């Protein structure tokens, strides 16, 4: 079983900021470039690090998307700006999904019951 580290988030510190899941896909050409120029990852990760507000992990994945990032940003406008910057990189495509911690989601479901 994998141990999951508890990360410091703004909600742990009393503030609540929106959470987003960022899925990143590299084109075939970009993957080929990555073999010869691994510093491309530094450019992609640097853009993410510049706007991160919390210590959330970044994951490399197998499958349709190459990277998953969980990010916490102060507002949705920052998410749009980040997605625009990343999508401007040649061969990088992103999808941004709003996310809720499971506890908050359960509360919403309970309230719907009446």
**pLDDT tens, residue order, the chain (114 aa):** 434 344 455 545 556 678 999 999 999 999 999 899 998 888 877 777 776 656 677 899 999 999 998 888 887 888 888 888 888 888 999 999 999 989 999 999 999 986
> 70 in a domain, yes or no?
yes
pTM of the model: 0.74
Q: Domain of 62?
A: 19-113
> 7 in a domain, yes or no?
no
Note the Cα 85 to chain centre separation in Å: 14
Q: Report d(CA 46, CA 52) in Å as an integer.
A: 10
Structure tokens at 75: 């507002």
> 51 in a domain, yes or no?
yes
Q: Report d(CA 101, CA 64) in Å as an integer.
A: 24
> 13 in a domain, yes or no?
no
> 1 in a domain, yes or no?
no
Q: Report d(CA 35, CA 14) in Å as an integer.
A: 43
Instruction: Identify any residues that bridge with 94 across adjacent strands, giving them in sequence order.
Output: 24
> 11 in a domain, yes or no?
no
- How many structural domains comprise the chain? 1
């Amino acid at each position: 079983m994998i141990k999951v580290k508890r990360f410091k988030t703004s909600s742990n510190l009393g503030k609540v900021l929106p959470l987003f899941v960022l899925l990143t896909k590299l084109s075939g050409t970009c993957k080929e470039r990555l073999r010869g120029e691994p510093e491309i990852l530094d450019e992609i990760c640097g853009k993410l690090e510049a706007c991160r507000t919390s210590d959330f992990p970044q994951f490399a994945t197998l499958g349709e998307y190459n990277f998953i990032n969980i990010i916490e940003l102060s507002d949705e406008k920052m998410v749009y700006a980040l997605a625009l910057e990343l999508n401007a990189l040649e061969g990088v495509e992103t999808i941004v999904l709003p996310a809720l911690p499971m506890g908050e989601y359960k509360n919403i479901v309970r309230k719907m019951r009446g």
